Amino acid sequence: MLIFKRSLFIGLAALCLLPAINGPIALIMGLIFGSIIGDVGFSQVPKITKWLLQIAVVVLGFCIAVDKALSAGSEGFMLTALSVFSVLGLGLFLTKRFHLDKKMSFLISSGTAICGGSAIASMAPVINASTREISSALAVVFLLNALAVFIFPSLGAFMHMTQHQFGLWCAIAIHDTSSVVGAASVYGKEALELATTAKLVRVLWIIPLMLGVAVFTKDKKQFKFPWFVLFFILAMGFSAAFPLPKVLTLSMFTFSKSLMSLVLFLMGASLTLKEFKVVGYKPLVYGIALWVFVGVASAALILVFY
């Protein structure tokens, strides 16, 4: 029976490397496996998961077009900066006010402020978050991220946003790049072009956030410098100084996403429904509160000033 469980585990893990299996699907697969099958006795999985996560983040660094992000960000830079600091500040206030899990709350607020699952994956090793904290944060962000694709175009039309306004709003208020592109493409070509480039500026906020948390962490005794952050920055610098062929960067981006899907499966497989019941509804309410705040506030500013 154990051999069957392990074979099934390995087979599903390999399946997650296929491009057709995205992050949310991989996480759901892992959660179902963990809840039905349970532990398969691979003691090295947590360590392997951590290494794969860091590798995926570093590879992603080669795929971020820093020059395009900086050139496209002049218009939305101040709005992006304001939204990032506002969400992180509100997240800190709500965490203290309602006595929420600090690491899980910080991951959710980071994902909401910057770029969804990528920000969570990047920040998790820096703050030494547990598998339960990472998976719970990802589940919240992925749920809201999926909803955004369907509701944002309708809301934009209801508010009579221009394509320019809607593209900027998507870049500020939607978590992951995939959903930003998905929602903006429904609205129009101009919205899609602006949303895609402006979103790159928001992604770059990963760097100061990772470095800031790493340097100013309170747990100095247990702190170990997250070298993968340095490699992430070096990867971006290398791709900016020596532009890689588009085919290669697309392949590396696909590889990074595949590794991330595998990581999400491994994280989900280590959890059970019983552990999620312990987490409770608070992370979801917290994530919704931050998302509604940034969505409403950014829409108001864009409608007035843009």
Segment 129-151 mean pLDDT: 83
For residue range 212-225, list pLDDT tens digits in order: 887 776 555 444 55
Least confident span in 47-61, 224-238, 284-298: 224-238
For residue range 35-65, list pLDDT tens digits in order: 788 777 777 887 788 788 788 878 877 887 6
In order, the DSSP letters of 189-207 are: HHHHHHHHHHHHHHHTTHH
Q: What are phi and psi of 272, to 5 degrees?
A: -130, 165
Grouping H, G, I as helix, E, B as strand and the rest as coil, residue 40 is: coil
| pTM score, whole prediction | 0.71
Angle, nearest 10°, between helix axes 131-158 and 163-173?
A: 170
Q: What is the pLDDT of residue 92?
A: 93
- CA dist 53 and 24 (Å) reads 16
Domain residue ranges in the chain: 1-305
| Residue 10 half-sphere exposure toward CB, CA atoms < 13 A | 8
Grouping H, G, I as helix, E, B as strand and the rest as coil, residue 246 is: helix
- CA dist 263 and 51 (Å) reads 9
Q: What is the pLDDT of residue 93?
A: 95
Least confident span in 169-178, 182-191, 193-202: 193-202
Q: C-alpha dihedral over 293, 141, 54, 56, to 10 degrees?
A: -110
pLDDT band at 182 (very low <50, low <70, confident <90, very high): confident
Q: What are phi and psi of 35, to 5 degrees?
A: -75, -35
Indicate whether 130 pLDDT > 90. Answer: no
Mean pLDDT score of the chain: 82
Indicate whether 273 pLDDT > 80. Answer: no
Q: Which helix (H) or strand (E) holds 291?
A: helix 282-305
pLDDT band at 274 (very low <50, low <70, confident <90, very high): low
Question: Which residue's entry shows tokens 């610098």?
Answer: 237
109-118, 229-238, 263-272: range with highest mean pLDDT: 109-118
pLDDT band at 197 (very low <50, low <70, confident <90, very high): confident
Segment 5-23 mean pLDDT: 86
Least confident span in 22-36, 96-110, 151-165: 22-36
Q: What is the DSSP letter of 113?
A: I
